[in-house]
């Protein structure tokens, strides 16, 4: 039996390539949760590329989210109700509206969380609103996080055991292959897939666009707040792996230790590594994609400039006040202390002696000499998010249609808290889940009506892009032209949307016209 559309008397059962799955009905949308797309990456498969799951014959009741990758809790980031944590976490979820008479565009979401936290089960990522409002099929996925997904232990390979690089990226590719092979049965069009993600998920999107093994698996891409330059070489990967083993301790045989350590032991050491790496090398992440020469052939920014990235339509942007969240959380990921910021530049210069960095005094003067934390947050915001995004649009717009945005909208409460349009605040508007919990404080000082209008406009743009590869707006909204070096058009999303030419002119002037590619 296949999807039966809006008949709420029939629970939809779909035959996938591995076995039948039965979903549930949520209003006009059918939902399947926790569908396995790969075998459990446990035991001898820990730190290895995903493999196909064992087929099943009994109907799988796809009525609850699958386990999420082990992770420490994070205030303000609920993973969902009754969510289990387990290394056997490779599952995905599907929201599908309507009938099967015409295949619908597909939107595949990759969640963020510094490559360390997060899950597809987070209430924020419920796909019903997008599926219902846009008549699209929405897919969200889990992938391996932290040490289980983003530390490369391939330097420890032996004849007895293999450690694969970039296993989390390979998880994402396995999920995309599942979509290619199965989404037709859920009402989706496998030839019209938009991959979208935010933060680490946005970084995954821009990285996957440069990976040969991902070609043909998606046809449009949306990258929100992508840390596109947080991709590292194999030498640094080996250093991170050795540092992790030092923290983990407990055995003379590192291979045996990695394979037999409990999830809790790995998680404890991961937490320590997460804090240690950015303290030793400011501005870098403990976890992230690795340029391994095969799966990830080159630094993504280089690939975009060389024209070797997928030449597909791209919608990309950042938020106006990205760094304020990290400051409030006292996160080590984005330094705000002037001495640490200067150390970050020194570290980059030492690691990349052939790199021509802009004059540091000139840059600091553009941020008032880093006299206040606000100035420092502006510099780290631009260095970590806005500049990599600009480098990509300057490059990719030469090869494929590219649209640039900046999200500026902040509710009165977020302004009062001096948070503004910080990192991830666009997500409720994209998913249409702008009041998703009883303890939600975002609208305590008003702004819900405006927020709903912002959400409607953003959803219209994102959904139009997924359907037609052009982010057309609602009637009466400004025309958002594709980016080129003549117009440098940027959509500024606020109470009212505007299109600004060369919004980032002062930023380019401060940092110089030369594009910095991390090679």
How do residues 171-229 score in pLDDT, each as one tens digit? 999 999 999 999 999 999 999 999 999 999 999 999 999 999 999 999 999 999 999 99
Q: Decide: 184 and 278 in contact? Cβ < 8 Å.
A: no
Span 501-514, pLDDT tens digits:
999 998 888 887 55
Mean pLDDT of 333-356: 68
Answer whether residue 517 shows pLDDT above 50. Answer: no
What is the model's pLDDT at position 8? 42
Adjacency order of strands within the sheet including 137-141: 24-26, 29-36, 91-97, 137-141, 104-110, 188-198, 220-224, 314-319, 402-407, 489-493, 498-501
209: left (phi over 0), alpha (psi -120 to 50) or beta: alpha
The yes-or-no answer on residue 423 being catalytic is: yes
Answer whether residue 3 shows pLDDT above 50. Answer: no
| Residue tagged active-site, from 199, 230, 323, 324 | 199
Mean pLDDT of 447-451: 93
Answer whether residue 369 shows pLDDT above 80. Answer: no
| Residue tagged active-site, from 322, 364, 394, 426 | 322
Note the CATH number of domain 13-511.
3.40.50.1820
Per DSSP (E only), the strands in 254-295 are: 290-291
Answer whether residue 518 shows pLDDT above 60. Answer: no
Of residues 263 and 250, more confidently modeled = 263
Q: Which pairs with CB-CB distance under 8 Å and at least 24 residues apart come from 339-346?
A: 340/282, 341/282, 341/370, 341/376, 341/379, 341/380, 343/282, 344/282, 344/283
The yes-or-no answer on residue 322 being catalytic is: yes
What is the model's pLDDT at position 7? 44
What is the model's pLDDT at position 228? 93
Answer whether residue 135 shows pLDDT above 60. Answer: yes
> 85-94, 145-154, 424-433, 440-449: which has the minimum mean pLDDT?
440-449
Average pLDDT, the chain: 90
What is the model's pLDDT at position 371? 72
Q: Which range, 44-53, 69-78, 375-384, is most confident?
A: 44-53
Q: Decide: 447 and 453 in contact? Cβ < 8 Å.
A: no
Span 16-30, pLDDT tens digits:
999 999 999 999 999
């Amino acid at each position: 039996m296949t999807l039966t559309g809006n008949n709420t008397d029939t629970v939809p059962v779909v035959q996938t390539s591995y076995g039948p799955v039965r979903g549930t009905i949520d209003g006009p949308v059918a939902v399947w949760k926790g569908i396995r797309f790969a075998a459990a990456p446990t035991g001898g498969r820990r730190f290895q590329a995903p493999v196909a799951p064992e087929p099943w014959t009994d109907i799988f009741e796809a009525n609850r989210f699958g386990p999420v990758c082990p992770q420490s809790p994070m205030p303000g980031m609920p993973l969902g109700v009754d969510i289990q944590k387990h290394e056997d976490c490779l599952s995905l979820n599907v929201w599908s509206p309507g009938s099967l008479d015409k295949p619908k565009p597909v939107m595949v979401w990759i969640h963020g969380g510094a490559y360390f936290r997060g899950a597809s089960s987070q209430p924020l990522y419920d796909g019903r609103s997008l599926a219902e409002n846009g008549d699209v099929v929405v897919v969200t996925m889990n992938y391996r996080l932290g040490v289980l997904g983003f530390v490369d232990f391939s330097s420890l390979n032996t004849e007895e055991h293999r450690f694969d690089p970039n296993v989390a990226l390979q998880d994402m590719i396995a999920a995309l292959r599942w979509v290619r092979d199965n989404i037709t049965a859920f009402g989706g069009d496998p030839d019209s897939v938009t991959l979208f993600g935010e933060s680490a998920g946005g970084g995954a999107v821009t990285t996957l666009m440069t990976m040969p093994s991902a070609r043909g698996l998606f046809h449009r891409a949306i990258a929100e707040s992508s840390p596109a330059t947080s991709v590292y070489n194999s030498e640094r990967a080996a250093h991170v792996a050795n540092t992790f083993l030092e923290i983990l301790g407990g055995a003379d045989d590192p291979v045996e230790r990695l394979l037999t350590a409990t999830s809790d032991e790995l998680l404890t050491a991961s937490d320590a590594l997460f804090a240690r790496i950015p303290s030793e090398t400011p501005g870098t992440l403990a976890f992230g994609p690795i340029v391994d020469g095969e799966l990830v052939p080159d630094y993504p920014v280089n690939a975009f400039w060389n024209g070797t990235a997928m030449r597909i339509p791209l919608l990309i942007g950042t938020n106006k006040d990205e760094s304020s969240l990290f400051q409030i959380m006292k996160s080590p990921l984005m330094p705000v202390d002037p001495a640490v910021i200067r150390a970050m530049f020194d570290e980059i210069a030492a690691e990349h002696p052939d790199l021509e960095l802009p004059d540091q005094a000139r840059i600091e003067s553009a941020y008032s000499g880093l006299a206040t934390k606000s100035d420092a947050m502006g510099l780290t915001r631009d260095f970590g998010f806005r500049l990599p995004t600009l480098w990509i649009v300057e490059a990719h717009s030469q090869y494929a249609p590219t649209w640039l945005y900046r999200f500026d909208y902040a509710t009165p409460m977020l302004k009062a808290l001096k948070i503004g349009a910080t990192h991830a605040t666009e997500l409720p508007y994209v998913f249409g889940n702008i009041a998703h919990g009883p303890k939600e404080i975002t609208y305590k000082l008003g702004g819900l009506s405006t927020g709903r209008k912002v959400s409607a406009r953003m959803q219209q743009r994102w959904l139009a892009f997924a359907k037609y590869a052009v982010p057309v707006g609602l009637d009466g909204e400004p025309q958002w032209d594709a980016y080129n070096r003549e117009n440098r058009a940027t959509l500024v999303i606020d109470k009212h949307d505007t299109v600004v030419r060369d919004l980032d002119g002062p930023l380019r002037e401060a940092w110089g016209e030369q594009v910095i590619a991390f090679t």
